[in-house]
Amino acid sequence: MAASKNKVQQFNFSLARLQPYQREIIGAVLILFSLITLLSFFSMSEGIISRWLANLFSQLFGWGAIPAVLLVGAFGLLLLFSRLKEEQQSLPLDIIIGVELLFVSALALTHLLAVEPGEFAVYLARTGGGGGFVGWGVSNFLVELIGVTPALILLSLMIIASLGVTFRMTVVDAAEWAGSVSDWAKDRLEHQPPPEPVVAVDPDEKPAAPAAKKQKKAGPAEPKMKPLPAPLLTAEAAIAVLPPSRRALPPLDLLAAPAKDPVHGANVRYQAQLIEETLHGFGIPAEVAEINAGPTVTQFGIRLGLTERKMPDGTILQQRIRVNKVIALNNDLALALSAAPIRIEAPVPGRPLVGIEVPNQDKTMVSLRSVIENEGFQKSNKPLRVALGKGVAGQPVWASLVDMPHLLIAGATGSGKSVCINAIISTLLFTHPPEQLRFLMIDPKMVELTSYNGIPHLIAPVVTDFEQVVGALAWATREMERRYKLFASVGARSIASYNRKVGAKGEQLPYLVVLIDELADLMMMAPDEVERYICRIAQMARATGIHLVIATQRPSVDVVTGLIKANFPTRIAFAVTSQIDSRVILDTPGAERLLGKGDMLYMASDSAKLLRLQGCFVSDMEMRNLVQFWQASISSPAQPLMSRAAPETPADPPWADLVAEADKDDMLEEAIKLVVESGRASTSLLQRRLGIGYPRASRLMDQLEQEGVIGPPEGSKPREVLWKEERAEDDYDEFEQDVAVNE
């Protein structure tokens, strides 16, 4: 007892020997030390010293690193405010010993409960988990000494004993304290007032303030689950504030609010350390120069060092590391990081670094609103801006269809192609009214683009019938030729210059975006016609304001042909199944290592380097709000939203005449002249005089009957010619005029 008193007196004497300014300086240093370490733990400080301190505390104390730093800061506060300078306010040694024993015992028990003793226990301590090296050392010593179960019992008893030492409580004091708490609880339960009866209250009468306060305090608040981000506005609410005099663009509140990026602190630093150790193990000196955390992957910028080579004459020659050596270690790095697949970008464009892209454990969904609200996107005056996603550093990425000028999207099933097309369409609908932009949508799958039916931007309803696809592409080609003739008439070279010269007096030409959701189905049905029209539009339609966006899930050479690739310099590749598919899309490997679900490689028309992005996601609710907004904006504002009819669309698409004309035979004109001149019509006559086979002659007979030139069949007799010779010239001139109008 006397010895313990002497130790307490020595401790107090050592503190008392410090001058006041010395105690304040030591306290301030300890507080600054704890603040720097805490900021590094929460990824708010990335300095060398703070990172080293954070790693030191994490490895020493594991999950107890933050409590250890807080204890150091608390001791610094006590010194700073001079709470230890007077003997009556001194901190006894037994309390300090109790706190230390409690802390160490808790670390050892935590490490023992977190993982079984063995090699993985050391690995957990090295990675800053469990109780750190302190917890691992104490628990491992006790396990080897007395076993696992006795060690658990002993550590639990040590925690109880340390609590008693810290609060200076004996077993009798603890029993008395437990009894007093039990008596207080029983007294509260016995004297609890009965529940008040429910009294009906007049809704017009304002309740008294004390009663409301008492009722609020009577029961605890029910826990509320935090909902997922949802759009702030619906289409009906947005239409209610729409100006009646002019058409307004949709508000961004129709989209969900952007999600916050997760913090990757200690895990990212540990991965950087593993990368450096793995490269050093293969004889490559390197250091992690920068870390860019993105929504899906984190890019570690590696700066390669120099190796020393001793020459025969004894001189030492320093040599650089070849980049191919790092690329060859792709699988080894994936094994060390326990993350696959990883992608190596060597070098990072514009930087003297090698980028190693590692998938994140916690991925973030990129919202369309976060890219549209970007300052660069809002300030740009380029037409047809589309939001693409976010890069590996979290920066928003967008582009203009005018600069592309055509886009090819390819990837495996479920990799994000249709979501990318929906993001492109939604961005254009948020930034362009129907007077400036029109859509021609072709969707053979009949499930992705049909939800946009009814918006005023559509030239015609979404094309889902294979028989109309060729006619729609032929109409786009003729529209391109018509616009070139208009340009020539006013001396314009592009759609922008034409609209400036014409002004409000002439026909203002809108941009036209042709979207094809599945190219493989079209190439299977009519490969020659589809390829011919697509290549012609892609080669010539840029100046006329017509742009193509094509997607396919089968990136093979018979679908994405050489002619199509040559005319689509801008491409997006999602996750594919093989390196061959990646080479078909991008002419280089890399897409086979993507993660899917919007992870893509973007090849811009003005850059040879690929850019890895996480594409924007547009939910069904957001898309429904946007479509309902445009449907309701062209309806009567006096009607409710659900009763407003969809905008009127033409009964027949503009290419209906082209489809009908394409079904007619090229020799129909000669057949009409022949039967009118001869006064009779038969299949054998057409075969002999026109030199054709029986099937084609039969089709010509059917078409002559449809045109009203001949009558129905009468057995084996030749058919009656309904066009008489005296009126044949007038009827034929009328037929030629109809053909000229269709052309």
pLDDT tens digits, residue range 349-405?
Answer: 888 899 999 998 878 889 999 999 988 899 888 889 999 999 988 889 999 999 999
pLDDT higher than 50, residue 241: no
Report how far Cα 353 is from the mean position of its chain's Cα atoms. Answer: 26
How high is the pLDDT of residue 85? 47
Distance of alpha carbon 147 from alpha carbon 252, whole angstroms: 63
pLDDT category at 229 given cuts 50, 70, 90 is low
Regarding beta strands 286-293 and 570-573, do their DSSP bridges make them parallel or antiparallel, or are they unpaired? Answer: unpaired
Looking at the chain, the domain(s) classified CATH 3.40.50.300 span: 368-633
Cα 295–Cα 300–Cα 305 angle in degrees, nearest 5: 170
pLDDT higher than 90, residue 480: yes
Query: How large is the average pLDDT for residues 641-669?
Result: 55
Distance of alpha carbon 633 from alpha carbon 239, whole angstroms: 7
Report how far Cα 144 is from the mean position of its chain's Cα atoms. Answer: 50
Looking at the chain, the domain(s) classified CATH 1.10.10.10 span: 664-742
Amino acid at 452: Y
How high is the pLDDT of residue 738? 54
- CATH number 3.20.20.120 given to 664-742: no
Where does 266-359 sit in CATH, by number? 3.30.980.40
Query: How large is the average pLDDT for residues 449-462?
Result: 90
pLDDT category at 40 given cuts 50, 70, 90 is confident
How high is the pLDDT of residue 222? 36
Average pLDDT, the chain: 78
Looking at the chain, the domain(s) classified CATH 3.30.980.40 span: 266-359
pLDDT category at 725 given cuts 50, 70, 90 is low
The residue assigned the tokens 């409301």 is 212
How high is the pLDDT of residue 613? 92
Indicate the range of 162-176, 537-551, 683-697 predicted with least confidence. Answer: 162-176
Pick the CATH number of 368-633 from 3.40.50.300, 3.40.50.1240, 3.30.2020.30, 3.90.1150.10: 3.40.50.300
How high is the pLDDT of residue 252? 87
Distance of alpha carbon 389 from alpha carbon 617, whole angstroms: 9
Which residues lie across from 118 on neighbouring strands?
Answer: none
How high is the pLDDT of residue 656? 65
pLDDT higher than 70, residue 690: yes
Sheet arrangement for strand 286-293: 286-293, 297-304, 354-359, 343-345
The top-scoring range by mean pLDDT among 553-562, 692-701, 722-731 is: 553-562
pLDDT category at 423 given cuts 50, 70, 90 is very high
pLDDT higher than 90, residue 643: no
How high is the pLDDT of residue 210? 40
Position with higher pLDDT, 7 vs 355: 355
Distance of alpha carbon 511 from alpha carbon 548, whole angstroms: 11
How high is the pLDDT of residue 641? 33
Regarding beta strands 297-304 and 354-359, do their DSSP bridges make them parallel or antiparallel, or are they unpaired? Answer: antiparallel
pLDDT higher than 90, residue 8: no
How high is the pLDDT of residue 387? 93
3-class SS of residue 203: coil
Per-residue model confidence as pLDDT tens digits over 335-348: 988 887 888 988 88
Query: How large is the average pLDDT for residues 275-285?
Result: 90
Nearest of 451, 399, 453 to residue 427 by alpha carbon? 399
3-class SS of residue 739: helix
pLDDT category at 302 given cuts 50, 70, 90 is very high
How high is the pLDDT of residue 615? 92
Indicate the range of 217-231, 272-286, 615-629 predicted with least confidence. Answer: 217-231
Indicate the range of 147-151, 170-174, 344-348, 525-529 predicted with least confidence. Answer: 170-174
pLDDT category at 7 given cuts 50, 70, 90 is very low
Per-residue model confidence as pLDDT tens digits over 113-157: 876 666 567 777 777 777 888 888 888 888 888 888 888 888 888
pLDDT higher than 70, residue 96: yes
Per-residue model confidence as pLDDT tens digits over 489-509: 888 899 989 988 887 677 789
DSSP 8-state class, residue 588: S
Distance of alpha carbon 194 from alpha carbon 199, whole angstroms: 15
Query: How large is the average pLDDT for residues 674-698?
Result: 83
* Cβ atoms of residues 352 and 286 within 8 Å: no
* Cβ atoms of residues 126 and 193 within 8 Å: no
Regarding beta strands 343-345 and 354-359, do their DSSP bridges make them parallel or antiparallel, or are they unpaired? Answer: antiparallel
How high is the pLDDT of residue 201? 38
Quote the strand ranges of 508-569, DSSP E.
Answer: 511-516, 546-552
The residue assigned the tokens 């909902």 is 227
Query: How large is the average pLDDT for residues 633-651?
Result: 44
pLDDT category at 77 given cuts 50, 70, 90 is confident
DSSP 8-state class, residue 607: -
Regarding beta strands 611-615 and 396-400, do their DSSP bridges make them parallel or antiparallel, or are they unpaired? Answer: unpaired
pLDDT higher than 70, residue 247: no
Indicate the range of 339-343, 547-551, 609-613, 703-707 predicted with least confidence. Answer: 703-707
How high is the pLDDT of residue 396? 92
Position with higher pLDDT, 174 vs 625: 625
DSSP 8-state class, residue 250: P
- Written as six digits, the tokens of 85 are 């300078």
Share of residues in the chain with pLDDT > 70 (%): 76
How high is the pLDDT of residue 128? 75
How high is the pLDDT of residue 647? 41
pLDDT category at 74 given cuts 50, 70, 90 is confident
pLDDT category at 44 given cuts 50, 70, 90 is low
Query: How large is the average pLDDT for residues 423-427?
Result: 94
